[in-house]
Structure 1
């Protein structure tokens, strides 16, 4: 299977994390007219190709919750499994792990590999509007945030943070009107929600930011720069890691196309990034048994068994009979 979307975020303690997640999942289920309780543990067969599993358990002094929807008959490029896993601690940071898996692509020789920009789950987008979530020390929000001069020291901490998983996107307003710029920034980062943080710079703050960063790490006016984790201002080779989306490309390319391009790039990067060991080991103990053979495969196996039975029946009918009495007489005579 392939990872089509992956987001792992820490959640500040003292919030109603689990209740909020269950509430949002319940709303989503109602909107899809799926009549099951998101808070009730169990396995629910909605159709032969639609299986929902809800897990609840105590884990390490906290509460573990997992909501999973699986499609056993999914074809290549289709969604195979969607999983939302949550750990809530009363006095420690919890986390939300959201993952969508697809069937591995099967392209013909000479075809380009399939590279789909899987949509950000609407449940995750809604949760980020209500919960205080973090990527390392970086605040995560469902839309780009304006930076003030007073925020610059904190922003430098975000950029240098070695515990950050996703990128920080710095977007320069340049000469654009504020409202037009805000709208464009929301659209171009639409597929990055939950996977990184986007910040907006007006000309005054941009000047302060670039002075803090230095020429190599600066954001050119009217552009967008992607800062990967562990920004190192003292390393002359470090600026090469942090790509710039130039003004010429921005003006010449449709915003939705740019958004999909950025979304695909970040999904590819996130898919290669392992989940933190503490979360991975915790969830591993709860991994369900392999799902039974899908309905389509069951039908194929039934047909194969019927064909094999017919072949064996015909072979037995044509097989020479063994006359046991005659064989016994021959052995007695000898």
Structure 2
């Protein structure tokens, strides 16, 4: 499965050296760092450079003067499958057209829902050391530097560049932030986006200037970092929701790995989902064909590196040649040293000759053992070896294509299910919105009859609630705002949902449910309600609501009494609640219906015990007999 894809243009090369020559030098250095025999990799050959490791290099100079190079490395990991690294370089050598780099890493196996993680290949980092890499107008420099006011306008232009393929991460600052540690932290957080995304750290003046140019919808605050996906539309409120903000609290609470992986995954998803330029695909197709042609025409000894075999024993002119007898000196009169052939050796020669004659008969149609016939047989063997190598390559490519088709088919099926679910969700949400609008209208009319005209006034700042979280990472950092609800779950599992819901709608719905749980706990402690079900069906005045039909008091008997379904629903609670530190959390809230993901929140109501509700899980739908 394709796990990593980097595509960028090169606006310059270190020391003004030739683009392809410099890039291939980095390839050879990378191979040597892996302790492979890099010197064997030359254009026009496919060679083994290590145990179960094969490399191929193909170069081309087209009639229009452009130059291209295709490098492929296949590393077989036994039963673990084959890892394939492919690098395609193209230099148009035309004014106004920049050279480009396309790097893919294909991992064995894979899952549409849970893509296998492939770390940034060192080859990508090596190439960026010598190339001035650009994604559209964005600079792909892993050594993130501070952006000043003079660079802000070009940064905004890069954000709006229609040719940009990957995300751009922009961090803001103010005078209270020490720039050096802040820049080092941002560099650390973006370490798994190398070759995929651009990163910028704005100094205080640049942060202000950036806000002025991007407006209130697309700015970035000090101490936060914002992800700008391709297709930025400044001034568009709806578009602004696509570009997520990583808040200060989330950054400070990170363990040093979680955010790195989330941002890396986001960058991978974005670049993998963006189609490649058709011209690049055509270059790849042409060089792959050339690689196969070179494989057919090369010497067979390049298939696998072996020691040079000893020269074949001479074939006697006649199978019934009589072996000479006597001492060596007895033949001196002839001037020749006749070989001493034992009866056993003679028998072996006869057997060998008969086998050779049989092989010639099967392959050439004639059993005559002649030098020309033997040469023809050898050529057939060489040709067969070449064809087997090409066939093996084709089978590998076919396996990859087959896996891709299966993955795409599964993805289409999943997306169709999710589309149906999302359309249904949208219909329900639209109906709820209409009902709420109608209710507000009716209430305002009633208040107007008693001269309560302030009912028509817009909300004041004190009446407005704090904004809902834009992501699950933001949501987890805000549990402290809830008086009676405590989080005990796995944050990593929860934040994986952000990858499937980039606009943050699920996080907002989850926050609504958490506020409803918090208000319920307060009402129950006051003796004004008995169960969360009853609370949702008759919302007390001034309390937060959540649809009653999206709450389940418990799981089905099938789930509760089947170990493989019950075990995943055991979540952490304090020992004061259960000495084992875990309880079965059957009560859950349906956040959304979306295919096999359909996020759920599981909780344990301990209000009557210690005044708290413990939320042990927010994540994708847990297994049941229907989803298994």
TM-score bucket (shorter structure): 0.7 to 0.9
Structure 2 matches for 1:237-252, cutoff 5 A? 237-252=238-253
**2:66 corresponding residue in structure 1:** 62
**Residue 270 to residue 79, structure 1, CA distance change in 2 (3 Å):** farther
Gaps of 5+ in 2: 293-389, 397-628
Whole-Å separation in 2 of the counterparts to 1:231 and 1:269: 14
Tell me how far 1:47 sits from its aligned partner: 5.5
Asked if the contact 2:30/2:126 (under 8 Å) is kept, the reply is no
Distance 1:52 1:82, change over 3 A: same
Consecutive aligned runs of 4 or more in structure 1 exceeding 4 Å deviation: 72-76
Query: 2:85: which partner in 1?
Result: 82
In structure 2, what is the equivalent of residue 138 of structure 1?
A: 138
Q: Which residue is 1:319 aligned to?
A: none
Distance 1:260 1:54 in 2: 33
Between Structure 1 and Structure 2, the one with more helix by share is 2
Shift of 1:227: 0.7
> 1:313 matched to which residue of 2?
none
TM-aligned CA deviation for residue 234 of structure 1: 3.4
Deviations, residues 59-86 of structure 1 (Å, cap 9, x unaligned): 342111111111356656x652101110
Q: What is the rounded CA distance, in whole Å, between the counterparts of 1:182 and 1:290 in structure 2? A: 51
Q: 1:3 maps to what in 2?
A: 2
Q: Which has the higher strand share?
A: 1
1:42 counterpart (45, 60, 81): 45
- Given that 2:36 and 2:50 are in contact with CA atoms closer than 8 Å, whether structure 1 keeps it comes out as no
CA separation in 1, counterparts of 2:235 and 2:114?
39
The correspondence for 2:18, drawn from 16, 19, 25, is: 16
CA contact under 8 A between 2:192 and 2:264: conserved in structure 1?
yes
Please say if residues 189 and 259 of structure 1, whose CA atoms lie closer than 8 Å, have aligned partners that are also in contact: yes
Q: Which residue of the partner structure matches residue 30 of structure 1? A: 32
Cα shift readout 1:267-305 (whole Å, capped 9, x = no counterpart): 1222222221100011112324553568xxxxxxxxxxx
CA distance in 2, matches of 1:79, 1:218: 44
Q: How far, CA to CA, are the matches of 2:207 and 2:115 in structure 1? A: 34
For residues 46 and 243 of structure 2, what CA distance do their matches in structure 1 show? 45
Distance 1:121 1:252, change over 3 A: same
Q: Which has the larger radius of gyration?
A: 2
Distance 1:164 1:75, change over 3 A: farther
Match in the other structure for 1:93? 98
Distance 2:173 2:78 in 1: 43
Are the structure 2 counterparts of residues 79 and 228 from structure 1 closer, same or farther at C-alpha, using a change threshold of 3 Å?
farther
TM-score (norm 1): 0.79
| Alignment partners' CA distance in 2, 1:268 and 1:49 | 30
Instruction: Tell me, yes or no, if the aligned pair for 2:142 and 2:187 is still in contact at 8 Å.
Output: no
Q: Does 1:178 align with 2:179?
A: yes
Matching of residue 206 in structure 1 with residue 188 in structure 2: no
**Pairing of 1:226-241 with structure 2 (within 5 A):** 226-241=227-242
**Unpaired runs of 5+ in structure 1?**
108-112, 295-334
Residues 104-115 of structure 1 mapped to structure 2, 5 A cutoff: 104-105=109-110, 113-115=113-115
CA 1:18–1:39 in structure 2 vs 1: closer, same or farther (change >3 Å)? Answer: farther
User: How many residue pairs were aligned?
Assistant: 288
Q: State whether structure 2 residue 220 is matched by structure 1 residue 219.
A: yes
